[in-house]
């Protein structure tokens, strides 16, 4: 049944794509003198910087993963999305994005295959780095799509896995770049201004405190605690808000970063944030407090253990604004 549904959807997309292609051919002379051409600096499949050239703003976008879809919708370009893949659960979308998401012609929890995407005749693909490596379940490399006059834009997921640092400015650049690609630069500016306003407001409040709050950000609970260190996106946001992110001595590019249970206890964080899904917030906080010796920690006794949705800090795109607000609220609360 799914295969039949998928084939029907692809057929509709192909017909629409053919109509668009015919229109493009009619306007080919006009396009050659197009003054609206622009370029965007991003990455190629080998992770090296690469410049993509656009003759016009895309009209048939394939968006992969939640950050791509929500960023496009928030910018006001949701109607340009012809297919959305990799959306694990639509309940994780912001309520104000849900209506636009439901109007997308083709949606899938799985990422589409290269063959599927080719049939859709997109003029732009927005995804993650590993979508374009040419390996495993990749949908094709930079070279593959450029030869077919299709530009791509890739987010590095958690950029700290590949670079020395992944900072808030990386996500702001992402919002600006996607805004420029879809001709929504003014809206991108509004979103970024909102992020910067919250940061300044929080920093002002935090600076009124006698001591800088020491913050532990947890990526996963286990025998050892997987953490986000200062060089990661959430770590950088905390520092910009006026806090101190613990784990500097645990930084390791390209590797998971851990603290032992004993190291967590000895670090005595003032505030703890645990990355998880909303339905596991209560369970995660309880698990943390029940780890050996943790009930006596000041952050537990003072009610300064909070949770944050993983999709607001791991390749968040426009949802980074939610992370800023969540971190800000936690830091400003009195214990």
Check whether residue 84 and residue 157 sit in a common domain.
Answer: yes
95 near 73, Cβ under 8 Å?
no
Q: Residue 333 — pLDDT band, cuts 50, 70, 90?
A: confident
Check whether residue 287 and residue 328 sit in a common domain.
Answer: yes
Q: What are the pLDDT digits (tens) for 241-289? A: 999 999 999 998 878 899 999 999 999 999 999 999 999 999 999 999 9
Could you tell me the two tokens for 73?
Answer: 């919708």
Contacts of 268 (CB under 8 A, 6+ apart): 214, 297, 298, 299
Check whether residue 220 and residue 285 sit in a common domain.
Answer: yes
Residue 157 gets the label, from left (phi > 0), alpha (psi -120 to 50) or beta, of left
* Structural domains counted in the chain: 2
Check whether residue 225 and residue 296 sit in a common domain.
Answer: yes
User: How far apart, in Å, are the Cα atoms of 334 and each of 197, 205, 265, 303, 320?
Assistant: 21, 11, 21, 9, 24
Check whether residue 319 and residue 176 sit in a common domain.
Answer: no
87 near 64, Cβ under 8 Å?
no
Contacts of 124 (CB under 8 A, 6+ apart): 58, 60, 61, 62, 150, 151, 152, 153, 181
**135 within a domain of the structure (yes/no):** yes
At 213, which CATH number? 3.40.50.1980
**237 within a domain of the structure (yes/no):** yes
Check whether residue 186 and residue 94 sit in a common domain.
Answer: yes
Could you tell me the two tokens for 173?
Answer: 């650049």
**7 within a domain of the structure (yes/no):** no
Please provide the distance, in angstroms rounded to a whole number, between the alpha carbons at the two ends of the chain. Answer: 55
Q: Which residue has the higher pLDDT, 164 or 240?
A: 240
In the 3-class helix/strand/coil scheme, how is the chain assigned residue by residue?
A: CHHHHHHHHHHHHHHHHHHHHHHHHHCHHHHHCCCCCEEEEEECCCCCEEEEEECCCCCCEEEECHHHHHHHHHCCCHHHEEEEECCCCHHHCCHHHHHHHHCCCEEECCCCCHHHHHHHCCCEEEEEHHHHCCCCCCCCCHHHHHCCCCEEEEECCCHHHCCCCCCHHHHHHHHHHHHHHCCCHHHHHHHHHHHHHHHHHHHHHHCCCCCCCEEEEEEECCCEEEEECCCCHHHHHHHHCCCEECCHHHCCCCCCCEEEHHHHHHHCCCEEEEEECHHHHHHHHHHHHCCCCHHHCHHHHCCCEEEEEHHHCCCCHHHHHHHHHHHHHHHHCCC
Q: Residue 225 and residue 284: Cα distance in Å, rounded?
A: 12
| pLDDT value at residue 332 | 87
**143 within a domain of the structure (yes/no):** yes
Domain boundary among 156, 190, 224: 190
Domain boundary among 127, 160, 190: 190
**195 within a domain of the structure (yes/no):** no
Check whether residue 249 and residue 288 sit in a common domain.
Answer: yes
Q: Residue 26 — pLDDT band, cuts 50, 70, 90?
A: very low
Check whether residue 320 and residue 241 sit in a common domain.
Answer: yes
Q: Residue 35 — pLDDT band, cuts 50, 70, 90?
A: low
Check whether residue 151 and residue 40 sit in a common domain.
Answer: yes
**8 within a domain of the structure (yes/no):** no
Could you tell me the two tokens for 71?
Answer: 């960023």
Check whether residue 296 and residue 219 sit in a common domain.
Answer: yes
Q: What are the pLDDT digits (tens) for 139-149? A: 999 999 999 99
What are the backbone angles phi and psi of residue 224, rounded to the nearest 5°?
Answer: -115, 160
Contacts of 148 (CB under 8 A, 6+ apart): 118
| pLDDT value at residue 132 | 92
Any idea which of 7-11, 183-187, 280-284 has the lowest mean pLDDT?
7-11
Q: Which residue has the higher pLDDT, 196 or 157?
A: 196
**26 within a domain of the structure (yes/no):** no
Domain boundary among 190, 223, 253: 190
Check whether residue 141 and residue 43 sit in a common domain.
Answer: yes
**28 within a domain of the structure (yes/no):** no
Check whether residue 70 and residue 218 sit in a common domain.
Answer: no
Q: Which residues span the domain enclosing 124?
A: 33-190
159 near 134, Cβ under 8 Å?
no
Could you tell me the two tokens for 190?
Answer: 């509004």
């Amino acid at each position: 049944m799914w295969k039949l549904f998928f084939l029907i959807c692809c057929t509709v997309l192909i017909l629409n794509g053919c109509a668009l292609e015919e229109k493009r051919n009619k306007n080919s002379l006009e396009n050659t003198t197009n003054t609206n051409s622009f370029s965007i600096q991003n990455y190629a499949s080998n992770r090296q910087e690469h410049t993509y050239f656009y003759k016009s703003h895309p009209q048939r976008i394939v968006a992969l993963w939640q950050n791509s879809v929500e960023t496009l919708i928030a910018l006001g370009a949701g109607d340009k999305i012809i297919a959305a893949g990799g959306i694990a659960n639509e309940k994780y979308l912001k309520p104000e994005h849900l209506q636009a998401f439901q109007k997308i012609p083709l949606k899938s929890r799985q990422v589409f295959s290269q063959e599927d995407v080719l049939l859709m005749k997109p003029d732009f693909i927005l995804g993650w780095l590993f979508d374009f490596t040419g390996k495993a379940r990749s949908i094709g490399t930079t070279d593959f799509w450029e030869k077919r006059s299709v530009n791509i834009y890739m987010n590095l997921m958690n950029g700290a896995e590949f670079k020395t640092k992944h900072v808030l400015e990386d996500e702001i650049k992402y919002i600006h770049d996607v805004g420029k690609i879809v001709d929504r630069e003014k809206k991108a500016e509004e979103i970024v201004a909102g992020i910067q306003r919250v940061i300044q407001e929080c920093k002002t409040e935090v600076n009124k405190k006698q001591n800088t709050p020491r913050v532990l950000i947890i990526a996963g609970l286990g025998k050892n605690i997987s953490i986000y260190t200062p060089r990661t996106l959430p770590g950088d946001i905390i520092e910009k808000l006026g806090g101190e992110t613990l784990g500097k001595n645990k930084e390791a590019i390209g590797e998971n970063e851990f603290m032992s249970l004993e190291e967590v206890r000895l670090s005595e964080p003032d505030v703890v944030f645990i990355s998880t899904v909303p339905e596991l917030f209560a369970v995660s906080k309880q698990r943390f407090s029940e780890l050996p010796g943790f009930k006596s920690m000041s952050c537990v006794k003072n009610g300064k253990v909070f949770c944050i949705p993983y999709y607001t800090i791991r390749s968040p795109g426009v949802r980074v604004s939610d992370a800023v607000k969540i971190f800000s609220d936690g830091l400003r609360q009195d214990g």
